[in-house]
């Protein structure tokens, strides 16, 4: 990890930069695959599964028999852990239900909102080196609570044409409607455009590699909504001299092992913490099965020594991390000053992995600095707010003239007339 000591504020913009990848050629490839899926449907998806995932699929849909088989393949202890996580995620997201309230803005003018579920949503779950069955819970559980009528899931199969059984078990527990064997760009295209097998959805959720992210962004231009723009995973830890160094190192490495383009960030007021964390990271790194991946991520990562805790929180807000861990003696005080972060973990025992799996908060979060403008996935992500207004004759009397004046000033005479004819009717009743 790169160590930076007492940087000037004018240098912060450079310090908080993420690694950048050249995606110019990638975008052309993605566009070509998407166009093919749009044109040829299932045949294109199967073709790309053969090309990229090296599996020849007779059909894309996961069968009920495969779902039942998965139940027997997942051991009871893991199934119980999935159930615990699902319960907590459900409990937390249930509290986010919208409660609308009617407001009389003027006599005879009443306005209100209604929350309506997005009818069809698509979930993308990566397979690869780390099949993210936890993400199934994070995405499908709030979708079910929101009332989405169709929850479609795409995930890449292995070379035997099978989906990771833990993904299937989690999908059944969380209430997924339909599951398809499709990964990468072709999966995003299938959900965006619809195929003979895969239904077209209205919004796509879920993480993925740079190809998947590029595909989501491309289809979002014209065809379907997406959860958020996203980059590689990241964590920022704020620590003082009292912090547990072993815990800090473990937290940093838990993110570094995600991928070579991940980034971890330590901000501390203690020189000794910098030295001790560096040593502890090196020690724990040697014990990791994904050592090579984590090592490359650490090369993109930084430890920053700052003069005080206010500067620490200011630098964190400038970084806008996906995950923020505050491991200081006064973490509650510092937490009040958090402005930009996806999800915040307070105290030495709140490890980022708790939020990744089972505390109840959602782990689908804005990365790459997008926490300055985006929220993580929550119940509202699956809903739309429809506004209503009702006007009586008193309402026309209350706001009619104001509407006429504003419409006239904008030179929209038909707008003015729509109110004028109503004013005339109300006046005729006098």
Nearest Cα residue to 213 out of 23, 372, 65:
23
Give the integer Cα–Cα distance in Å for 369 and 400.
45
- Dist CA 342 CA 227 (whole Å): 14
Domain of 55, CATH number, reads 3.40.50.1980
Determine the 3-state secondary structure of 50 from DSSP. Answer: helix
Hey, which residues does 391 pair with through a beta bridge? 109
The answer on 179 and 257 residing in a single domain is: no
Asked if the structure places residue 305 within a domain, the reply is yes
- Tokens at 309, concatenated: 């805790």
* Angstrom distance (rounded) from CA 358 to CA 134: 9
Q: What is the pTM of this model?
A: 0.94
**Tokens read off for 242:** 């009292």
Distance CA 147, CA 121 (A): 11
Assess if residue 11 is contained within a domain. no
* Residue ranges in 286-367 assigned as alpha helix (H): 291-299, 309-319, 331-335, 352-357
Give tens-digit pLDDT for 239-262. Answer: 999 999 999 999 999 999 988 889
More confident residue, 25 or 405: 405
Residues 157 and 235 in one domain: no
Same domain? For 326 and 402 the reply is no
Residue 21: pLDDT over 70? no
Helix, strand or coil, per DSSP, at residue 279 = helix
Q: Which two tokens stand for residue 15?
A: 């310090």
Cα–Cα distance, 353 to 207 (Å, whole number): 17
Q: Do 284 and 362 sit in the same domain of this protein?
A: yes
138, 89 contact by CB (below 8 A): yes
Average model confidence (pLDDT) across the chain: 96
**Cα(266)–Cα(298) distance, rounded to whole angstroms?**
11
Domain assignment present for residue 384? The answer is: no
pLDDT tens sequence across 195-237: 999 999 999 999 988 899 999 999 999 999 999 988 888 999 9
Look up the domain containing 310 and give its range.
231-375
Would residue 387 count as lying in a domain? Answer: no
Element counts in the chain: helices (H) and strands (E): 17, 14
Number of structural domains, the chain?
Answer: 3
pLDDT tens-digit series, residues 123-133: 999 986 678 99
Kindly state whether residue 16 falls inside one of the protein's structural domains: no
**Token couple for 352:** 């980022």
Distance CA 412, CA 429 (A): 27
* Domain shared by 194 and 272, yes or no: no
* CB-CB contact of 426 with 396 (8 Å): yes
The DSSP secondary-structure symbol of 394 reads H
Assess whether 370 and 397 both reside in one domain: no
Active-site residue set: 322-323
């Amino acid at each position: 990890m790169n160590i930076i000591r007492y940087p000037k504020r004018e240098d912060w913009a450079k310090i908080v930069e993420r690694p950048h990848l050249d995606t110019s050629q990638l975008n052309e490839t993605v566009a070509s695959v998407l166009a093919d899926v749009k044109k040829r449907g299932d045949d294109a998806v199967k073709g790309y599964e053969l090309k990229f995932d090296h599996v020849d699929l007779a059909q894309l849909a996961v069968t009920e028999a495969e779902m039942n088989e998965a139940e027997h393949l997942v051991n009871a202890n893991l199934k119980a852990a999935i159930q615990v996580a699902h319960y907590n995620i459900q409990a937390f997201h249930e509290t986010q239900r919208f409660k609308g309230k009617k407001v009389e803005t003027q006599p005879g003018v009443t306005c209100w909102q209604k929350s309506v579920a997005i009818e069809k949503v698509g979930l993308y779950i990566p397979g690869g080196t780390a099949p993210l069955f936890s993400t199934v819970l994070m995405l499908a559980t709030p979708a079910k609570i929101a009332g989405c009528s169709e929850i479609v899931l795409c995930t890449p199969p292995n070379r035997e044409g099978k989906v990771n059984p833990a993904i299937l078990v989690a999908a059944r527990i969380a209430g997924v409607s339909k599951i398809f064997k499709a990964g990468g760009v072709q999966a995003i295209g299938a959900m965006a455009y619809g195929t003979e097998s895969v239904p077209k959805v209205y919004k796509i959720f879920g993480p993925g590699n740079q190809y998947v992210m590029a595909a989501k962004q491309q289809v979002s231009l014209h065809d379907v909504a997406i959860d958020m723009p996203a980059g590689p995973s990241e964590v920022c830890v704020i620590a003082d001299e009292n912090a547990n160094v072993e815990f800090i190192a473990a937290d940093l490495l838990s993110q570094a092992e995600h991928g070579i383009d991940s980034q971890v960030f330590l901000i501390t007021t203690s020189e000794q913490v910098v030295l001790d964390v560096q040593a502890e990271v090196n020690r724990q790194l040697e014990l990791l099965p994904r050592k090579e991946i984590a090592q490359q991520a650490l090369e993109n990562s930084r430890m920053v020594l700052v003069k005080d805790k206010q500067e620490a929180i200011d630098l964190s807000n400038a970084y806008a991390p996906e995950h923020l861990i505050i491991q200081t003696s006064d973490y509650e005080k510092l937490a009040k000053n958090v402005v930009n972060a996806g999800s915040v973990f307070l105290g030495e025992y709140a490890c980022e992995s708790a939020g990744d799996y089972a505390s109840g908060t959602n782990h689908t979060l804005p990365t790459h600095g997008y926490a300055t403008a985006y929220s993580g996935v929550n119940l509202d992500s699956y809903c739309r707010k429809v506004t209503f207004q009702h006007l009586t004759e008193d309402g026309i009397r209350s706001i009619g003239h104001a509407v006429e004046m504003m419409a006239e000033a904008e030179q929209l005479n038909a707008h003015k007339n729509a109110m004028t004819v109503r004013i005339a009717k109300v006046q005729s009743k006098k």
